[in-house]
Amino acid sequence: MNRLRKLLLELAGGTGFESAWNAAGYTAREEAERALRDLASTLAEKAPPNKAAAVSEGELSLIVYTDGASRGNPGPASIGAVAQLETGEELTSVSKCIGKATNNVAEYRAVIEGLRLAKTLGAVKVEMRLDSELVVKQLNGEYRIKNTSLRVLAETVVAEALGFSVCTYVHVPREENREADRLANIALDRAAGKLKM
């Protein structure tokens, strides 16, 4: 499992697959690929029944908007995520506090929650949309991840994403991510006692 962890960290940090499996200590590319397939199978087995996909014919594709918020950076932090069909119909959402964290940690935690939300709905393909250009570029391998805590969170994202046949990360302007932002701020307001329950 230590080699698999190292492999995921290398991939999350933007290392190419050829270099990543070598750095992780695998003796052959096929061995590393088999480890990833086994992890994906394990995650798929743990996923809830695919109710949504059973209702519709074909593969369920979702768009998930996510946002993380931190007041203080670091300070009280929260996440918001909205899962919708490609038609724009909202299926479900999540809004919750995650304790004290930085903005970037909150953004990563929001992506993780969004992926789990999509998995619960039985999605096969998912497009993650967020307004953090840094996180998108890190997850797409365009930027290296130097911060250790962010690397661990990126590893979790990679592991969660293995449960989908397609998973992409897209940067969107903040105005297109208003609902996820609203949900993250609602969670912070509730925690601060500003909203009546």
pLDDT-derived band at 59, boundaries 50, 70, 90: confident
Mean pLDDT calculated for residue range 148-162: 95
Q: What's the start-to-end Cα distance of the chain, in Å?
A: 44
55 pLDDT exceeds 50? no
**Residue 50 reports pLDDT greater than 50:** no
Confidence (pLDDT) at 58 = 60
Measure the CA–CA gap between 103 and 186, rounded to whole angstroms.
16
Predicted confidence (pLDDT) per residue in 86-125, tens digit: 999 999 999 999 999 999 999 999 999 999 999 999 999 9
pLDDT at 165 over 60: yes
What one-letter code names the amino acid at 135?
Answer: V
Domain boundaries, the chain: 2-46, 51-191
Q: Which residue has the higher pLDDT, 50 or 38?
A: 38
Q: Which of 41-50, 68-77, 132-141, 186-195 has the lowest mean pLDDT?
A: 41-50
pLDDT of 192 above 50? yes
Identify the CA nearest to 157 among candidates 169, 148, 171: 169
Distance CA 33, CA 189 (A): 45
Give the integer Cα–Cα distance in Å for 150 and 169. 16
- How far CA 100 is from CA of 6, 103, 114, 161, 191, in Å, comes to 27, 10, 20, 25, 12
Average pLDDT, the chain: 87
- CATH number 3.10.20.600 given to 51-191: no
- pLDDT digit string, tens, across residues 62-94: 999 999 999 999 999 999 999 999 999 999 999
pLDDT of 144 higher than 90: yes
pLDDT at 21 over 50: yes
Model pTM score: 0.71
What are φ and ψ of residue 141, in 5° steps? 80, 10
